[in-house]
Amino acid sequence: MIGGVSIVLALLTQVMLVNRVPLPAGGAPDLVLLAVVGAALAKGPAAGAVLGFFAGLLVDVMPPTAHLAGQYAFVLALVGYVAGRGAGGPVTTVVLCVLMAPLLAAAVGGLISDPRVSMSTLTEQVPVSVVYTLLVSPIVIWLTTRGRHARFPT
Amino acid sequence: MKDSRRARLILGALLTAALIILTIDHRTGDSSPLRPLRAAGAYLFGTAEQFGGGLVRPVGGFVRAILNAPAAKERIEALRAENAQLRSGLLADKLDSDRAKQLKQLLGLSGTGGYKVVPANVVARRGQPGFEDAVQIDVGTTDGVRPEMTVLNGDGLIGRVLHASATTSTVVLLSDPASAAGARLEGGKEIGVVHGVGEHGRLVQFRLLDSTAPMTRGGRIVSFGSQHGSPYVPGVPIGVIERVESTPGELTRIAYARPYADLTALDVVGVVVAAPKRDPRDAVLPPKEGAR
């Protein structure tokens, strides 16, 4: 429940606020991805995949949208599963997911021959957004690990 | 182990579902069965964005103010210098002609071109997640906005309306790599196509269809207009050519132009609901830089 609400809030913040601020180098952090990763880290692989799928569908229908529906449902379902399974500690998991998501999205876009995905997307746009997302990711890591520490001693 | 197998099954089912949705949406195009879903999303979240827009605008403005602080300082210096110049202009009785010029500018693009414009505010923007460059504006079909209408602001062309719901609509920007607009070099008959190249709207690509036609830095581009003014009305200023690429042996020539409208920080825009009766040609272009 908290995961779902935080994903909707992250998406609204993303399109209403974050994307509209012209940051240096012209990218923006992907808050939705981080919300999915955070929720999946707490919930496990199955719940993470389901959460990711519905978050992706939301990304696909939330206006303004100009891409095909299903693209982000695919990407975020896979990301949610990977984040839920975990790869090493939470830090490596988050970094892996942040790197994986834009590349996957570009790959799916390439499969359906989306004109927006080209070599310059991969070399210019993706690295900037990855760096911004990684800069914000410590908040997610802190939130998930803090919950875990609190759970074990009590 | 059992749990992980279950999780893998769920993942497989979800990925298949996503691919099926993607295929259906891709194959059916405009008559997609996912249209109601998208319309519902546009209605629900468009309304939320519209109400939230007023709340978050000051926050965005604040962040933008911080980010622009160094530039603002330079601007203050420039304005001070201009102020001093204006003072001397007052003494020299030059002010009257200056004011006449500014008032003429204030009359605005829509007045000069004869476009009928519905003003709108940008309430949301896409860039992440996704590769498209699109914004949501707070006017919809109830205000007379239909898909495939031209969107502009006081400086120049912004893009076109893609979907329109009752109270909000989605605009694909000029800088979106999938958008293409017919364009014309000022003063001539040479036509070309303006494509977005990403780059967050700092540059757009202008492809001139005649490879032998002269094209130089500083040349200005206006929209060519489409049939019945849909999606693009004629005569809207697009941008000024920044650099010309040499493409030997190719059938078209490529230049990169800086759009007149600042596509990275959009706020007030206008949707052209009625095209001008006559093509305004170059009349709407802003004065050339350096000539000022």
Give Dmax (Cα) for chain B. Answer: 89
CB pairs under 8 A between A and B: 205
Residue B288 carries which DSSP code? P
Q: How confident is the model at residue A76 (pLDDT cuts 50, 70, 90)?
A: very high
Q: Looking at beta carbons, which residues of chain A come within 8 Å of B170?
A: 63-66
For tokens 């569908």, the residue is A57
Report the residue from A17, A53, A77 with minimal CB separation from B59.
A17
N-to-C CA span, chain A: 23
How do residues B47-71 score in pLDDT, each as one tens digit?
A: 888 887 777 777 777 777 777 777 7
Q: Please list, in sequence order, all residues whose beta carbon lies within 8 angstroms of the beta carbon of residue A4, skipping any fewer than 6 positions away.
A: A39, A51, A54
List phi, psi (to 5°) of A60: -75, -30
Report the residue from B19, B128, B170 with minimal CB separation from A63.
B170
Q: Which helix (H) or strand (E) holds B74?
A: helix B69-91
SS3 state at B183: strand
Q: Is the pLDDT of residue B113 over 70?
A: no
In chain B, pLDDT over 70 holds for what percent of residues? 83
Distances (CA, A) of B286 to B155, B174, B222: 8, 19, 11
How do residues B79-95 score in pLDDT, each as one tens digit?
A: 888 887 767 666 555 54
Q: Is the pLDDT of residue A152 over 50?
A: no
Average pLDDT over chain A, rounded to an integer: 84
* pLDDT score, position A78: 92
Q: Is some CB atom of chain A closer than 8 A to the CB atom of B46?
A: yes
List phi, psi (to 5°) of A7: -65, -45
Q: How confident is the model at residue B75 (pLDDT cuts 50, 70, 90)?
A: confident
SS3 state at B243: strand
Q: Looking at beta carbons, which residues of chain A come within 8 Å of B24?
A: 70
Q: How confident is the model at residue A149 (pLDDT cuts 50, 70, 90)?
A: low
B42/A63 Cβ within 8 A: yes
B41/A63 Cβ within 8 A: yes
Residue with the bigger pLDDT between B162 and A144: it is: B162
Residue with the bigger pLDDT between A110 and B104: it is: A110
- Rounded Cα gap, residues A51 and A37, in angstroms: 10
Q: Which of A29-33, A63-67, B34-38 has the highest mean pLDDT?
A: A29-33
Q: How confident is the model at residue B203 (pLDDT cuts 50, 70, 90)?
A: confident
Q: Is the pLDDT of residue B96 over 70?
A: no
Residue with the bigger pLDDT between A66 and B115: it is: A66
- Rounded Cα gap, residues B241 and B219, in angstroms: 5
In chain B, pLDDT over 90 holds for what percent of residues? 1
Q: Looking at beta carbons, which residues of chain A come within 8 Å of B49?
A: 12, 15-16, 63
* pLDDT score, position B89: 60
List phi, psi (to 5°) of B181: -130, 135
Q: Is the full-model pTM beyond 0.90?
A: no
Q: Looking at beta carbons, which residues of chain A come within 8 Å of B10?
A: 46, 49-50
- Rounded Cα gap, residues B8 and B181, in angstroms: 45
Average pLDDT over chain B, rounded to an integer: 78
Distances (CA, A) of A47 to A53, A91, B132, B178: 10, 20, 29, 35
Q: Is the pLDDT of residue A17 over 70?
A: yes
Chain A: residue whose CA lies nearest to B133: A66
Chain B: residue whose CA lies nearest to A115: B178
Q: Is the pLDDT of residue B236 over 60?
A: yes
* pLDDT score, position B102: 44
Q: Cβ distance B284 to B277 under 8 Å?
A: no
A12/B128 Cβ within 8 A: no
